[in-house]
Amino acid sequence: AESDDFGQHAAARGRPRPPEFSQLHAPQPASAMNIFRLTGDMLHLASIMLLVLKLHKSKSCVGVSCRMQEMYAMVFIFRYLDLFWSYISIYNTVMKLVFITTTVYLVWLMRCRTPICQTYERSSDSFQYEIYLLGPCLVLGLLCTEEYTFTDVLWSTSIWLESVAIVPQLVLLQSIHEVENLTSDFVGCMGGYRALYILNWVYRYFAEDYVNWVGWIGGLVQTGLYCDFFYYYAKS
């Protein structure tokens, strides 16, 4: 679900913007697939499916941050508004829909579905992202947007929001001092997906002369935050 893999703009000053953020017109081809991007997409998808499987199998969401899932739901909704007017490919459309619907479904499971919601640790999963992260990410989105349109500002905001979306999960893990195996697999897949996207950026920079400063900086911030999690992962 990276910013560049599903047809979002390059966010680089002076670079041409792709079709979905311009006026409505005929479908345009997506950027070329490579092994790093494809594997990263599959790891990201696997992480979400692992979490859905865990909740259904264990009937428990102990150790899982619902507030992180809420942040990811906002990331995907902000970023993929172009679903309403742009078509890139079947792969592109299906992946966008899957990421949005499964993430919203996870939030619903943890907040509303009995007996899973009865195990949700509301007192421990208490990081107030709406106070500490949402506002600053919106400000960065306004400062770093390519153009001051509604969709461009939301796209730019989603990059910064995704970069810190892991924070509620990290705070929860540090609070309960426990990492469940499948929860660790979930975040491990997320870390692997991020690492592969760094390789994807390097490959595209040399192979396609691709530049995306906003996505690169946000991605590096997100990757750095995973280091804290991997400390707990190694100890579990």
What pLDDT is recorded for position 13? Answer: 33
What pLDDT is recorded for position 20? Answer: 39
* CA of residue 111 relative to chain centroid, distance: 20
Residue 176 predicted with pLDDT over 70: yes
Q: If you average pLDDT over residues 189-213, what whole number do you get?
A: 89
* CA of residue 166 relative to chain centroid, distance: 9
Q: Per-residue pLDDT tens for 159-174?
A: 999 999 999 988 888 8
**Cβ pair 171, 127 in contact under 8 A:** yes
Q: Per-residue pLDDT tens for 177-191?
A: 766 656 677 777 887
Q: Per-residue pLDDT tens for 86-130?
A: 898 999 999 999 999 999 999 999 999 999 999 998 999 999 999
Task: Report the C-alpha gap between 20 and 87 in whole angstroms.
Answer: 8
Percent of the chain with pLDDT over 90: 58
Peptide bond into 115 cis (omega under 30): yes
| DSSP for 118-146, written as a single string | GG--TTTS---HHHHTHHHHHHHHHHH-S
Interhelix angle 213-235/167-176, nearest 10 degrees? 10
CB neighbour list of residue 13: distance below 8 Å, 6 or more residues apart: 146
Say what the pTM is.
0.84
Residue 193 predicted with pLDDT over 50: yes
